[in-house]
């Protein structure tokens, strides 16, 4: 699905990440951990092609990202669902309309897929909140709406950046169960988090590989958890 081969990313000649080597196989579940500022978000941006590697290679669905045209990057991004930490929404639209936005952006008619939107809202537990505006949602509701938006195009890969960072433990476990369910449906999942308790809870539910960014490099962290 996504492969990094000695990939590095530098800014102003300083390496933020170096020697990143990883294969995200179809149907795999990975956690990416490390302290704040370690480069987790930068790593995810390399995976969904917002940033290009300054050295090494990143291949997405078998193609080197630097060989892709802008149109090819846009098309391949539709196969990657992204849950951002800040989960920004358009406040003048309802939750359901925000969830459906990727359909409109990809040229599909959201009104023709209203049934699928209803099912998706119910799946994340927001069927009773579909008409609410984003400012009316709790933190946990916003994160579940962000997950619904990320998977509305039925992507092959889900990347989540600190998805439980601003919600309580009960809601974090609920969101984790949704991610595990997606993985059991065959989706590849990568979750960046600093919450070791969340990782320990996940390992009781799914065969997850745990990675850590330390000193700008990627290493296995499974034995430490």
Using one digit for the tens of pLDDT, what is the confidence trace for 107-118? Answer: 888 888 888 889
Taken in order of first residue, the domains within the chain and their CATH numbers are 1-79+156-225 (3.40.50.300), 89-154 (no CATH)
Over residues 88-101, the pLDDT tens digits come to: 899 999 999 999 99
Residue 219 banded pLDDT, cuts 50, 70, 90: confident
Per-residue pLDDT at 11 exceeds 70: yes
> Going edge to edge, which strands form the sheet with 14-24?
14-24, 2-11, 55-60, 63-64
Which residue, 148, 191, 195, is CA-closest to 167? Answer: 195
Quick: pLDDT tens for 195-209: 888 998 898 889 899
| pLDDT value of position 160 | 94
* pLDDT for the residue numbered 224: 55
Query: What pLDDT is recorded for position 37?
Result: 84
Task: Let me know: does 39 contact 31? Beta carbons within 8 Å.
Answer: no
Query: Which strand (E) or helix (H) includes residue 161?
Result: strand 157-161
Give the whole-angstrom CA distance, residue 102 versus residue 89: 12
């Amino acid at each position: 699905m996504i492969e990094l081969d000695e990939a590095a990313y530098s800014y102003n000649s300083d390496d933020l990440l170096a020697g990143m080597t990883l294969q995200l196989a179809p149907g795999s579940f990975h956690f990416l951990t490390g302290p704040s500022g370690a480069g987790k978000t930068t790593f995810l941006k390399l995976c969904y092609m917002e940033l290009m590697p300054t050295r090494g290679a990143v291949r997405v669905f078998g193609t080197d990202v630097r060989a892709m045209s802008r149109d090819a990057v846009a098309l391949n991004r539709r196969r990657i669902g992204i849950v951002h930490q800040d989960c920004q929404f358009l406040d003048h639209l309802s939750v359901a309309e925000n969830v459906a936005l990727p359909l409109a952006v990809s040229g599909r008619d959201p009104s023709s897929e209203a049934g699928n939107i209803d099912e998706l809202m119910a799946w994340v537990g927001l069927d009773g909140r579909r008409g609410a505006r984003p400012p009316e949602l709790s933190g946990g509701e916003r994160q579940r709406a962000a997950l619904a938006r990320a998977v509305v195009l039925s992507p092959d890969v889900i990347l989540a950046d600190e998805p439980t960072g601003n919600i309580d433990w009960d809601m974090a476990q609920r969101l984790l169960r949704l991610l595990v369910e997606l993985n059991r449906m065959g989706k590849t999942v990568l979750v960046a988090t600093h919450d070791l308790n969340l990782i320990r809870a996940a390992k009781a539910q799914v065969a997850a590989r745990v990675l850590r960014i330390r000193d700008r490099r990627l290493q296995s962290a499974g034995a430490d958890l």
